[in-house]
Amino acid sequence: MQGQHPPAELPSLRRQKILLLLERDGKVMAAELSRHFAVSEDTIRRDLAELDAGGLVQRVHGGALPRPKDSGKDYFTRVGETNEAKLRLAQYAVQWVQDGQTVLFDSGSTTLHIAQSLPADISLTAVTASPMIAVALAEYPKVRVILAGGQLNPATLSASGHEALRMIQGIKADLMFTGVCAIHPEIGISSLHFDEVPIKQAMFDSASEVIAVTTADKLGAMEPFVVVPCNRLHRLVTEQEAPGVDIEGYRQLGIEVLQV
């Protein structure tokens, strides 16, 4: 950060500039902002708290990260929104699905698009805790669908609980498509919903290969509940244009990053 601003600057203006810095750099640190704006770190922490309360940033220790654009939206809202980028990424990602595989489908609107984009004659065993994804997979005559049951989360329309967890732990899958609420190279994959974390972790443990498919707004972001570190991924499929995101940070972790 270069240049400084007078301490008398209005808080509202300073917060707008913090958002611009966050958009440019992908993260902001309280200590750096304090020097940049010539105000105390307590003042900056209050600014970040206000921005977080307004849903504009995600506070983390020492600073803030971008908040995913669809964070907190319910499942039907996300599925009902037309998103050409998600569809394009999903259609690209299905190239790694092969006949005869056992594939885990995590919950999420992008994962639903993947399920809907499979070749019509694909033959595989599909496992999911999402009833919506199970219904989509049931359209394929050669796909055997295994649905993990449990308590349904109305926000994600995915099952959780001991029964679902035990079933997934008993499966050895060739491939997993993981849903992404937020992903940060240092923090990992994180979720807005605490109850879905054990299910996601069990899927990671059960799969030989894991692919994350996500739009660019989820990159460099964080939600409250960490699922796994990023090095548990094998591939990351995301958008070609990812302004303000350090893609190399993911590649340095050994992840194959593919931008479509």
- pLDDT digit string (tens) for 172-208? 999 999 989 899 998 899 998 889 999 999 999 999 9
**Which H, E and C letters describe 122-160, residue by residue?**
CCEEEEECCHHHHHHHCCCCCEEEEECCCEEECCCCEEE
Average model confidence (pLDDT) across the chain: 89
What residue ranges do the domains of the chain occupy?
A: 11-66, 75-259
Just give the CATH number of 11-66: 1.10.10.10
CATH class of 75-259: alpha beta
Amino acid at 231: N
- pLDDT in the model for residue 76: 54
Pick left, alpha or beta for residue 98 (phi over 0 → left; psi -120 to 50 → alpha; otherwise beta).
beta
Q: Is the pLDDT of residue 68 over 80?
A: no
Residue 61: per-residue pLDDT: 82
**Band of residue 58 on the pLDDT scale cut at 50, 70, 90:** confident
pLDDT at residue 80, as a whole number: 55
